[in-house]
Amino acid sequence: MKLPFSKLEHDSLQLVVWASRFFFMFGSVFILSGIGKEIYRVVRWLLSPIHFSDGSWASYRYKLDLTHINWQLILLGLILTFISCWLAIKLNSSRKKA
């Protein structure tokens, strides 16, 4: 199995090649960590009932809060992945022109 962008090469723009790989790697890490943390949050919400004084049970309210840090990690990961793919496309097109 080859890593993404393993065939991406450019003689004069090696810094941009490595930046593209770096952005892709950290974008993937941010997406996976945000999704993992959000799944943990939902599972914790599902498994934590509240016992009221009248003998009834209820669950905590889960609120889909897009300003929560988990969603910010996912969004940052998507942005970094998009930037890395855009850089890879630009590098390939500039290599073909040269």
The whole model's pTM is what?
A: 0.75
- Six-digit token string for 32: 């996976």
- HSE on the CB side for 90, CA within 13 Å? 11
Q: In sequence order, what are the beta bridge partners of 49?
A: 59
Domain boundaries, the chain: 15-97
Q: Which secondary structure element, helix H or strand E, spans residue 29, and what is its range?
A: helix 14-46
**Terminal CA-CA length for the chain:** 30
Q: How confident is the model at residue 53 (pLDDT cuts 50, 70, 90)?
A: low
* Bigger pLDDT: 53 vs 27: 27
- Six-digit token string for 56: 């009834």
- Residue whose token pair is 């810094």: 15
pLDDT tens-digit series, residues 16-36: 888 888 999 999 999 999 999
Contact partners, residue 33, CB within 8 Å, separation at least 6? 73
